[in-house]
Amino acid sequence: MSNSKNAKSNQSNAPSQWAQLLGDIIDKLVGTNLSTTMKFDNFEIAVPQVKGPDGADLGSAKWIINGKIQWTTTESNKD
């Protein structure tokens, strides 16, 4: 039973962990004159089914990404 409880706990923490990780990466990249390209080939993101407060089914999602995401950061002086 504790394994099931830990798995549910980890799943509920996953979005905040991803948000924190992304925030940390962006903090490190901003102002560093860097260009980054991430390429995806059938990258699949499965969003689990969610129930609302009254038990209503709010649905789930499955996203497949093909292509690339590119971002560029530059340092600017705000004098």
- Give me the tens of pLDDT residue by residue for the chain, a chain 79 residues long: 445 455 455 555 666 788 888 788 777 766 677 788 889 999 898 988 888 888 888 889 999 989 998 878 777 666 5
| This prediction's pTM | 0.40
- 44-50 long-range CB contacts below 8 Å, 24 or more apart? 48/11
How many residues are listed for the chain in this entry?
A: 79
Cβ neighbors of 71 (< 8 A, separation 6 or more) are 29, 35, 36
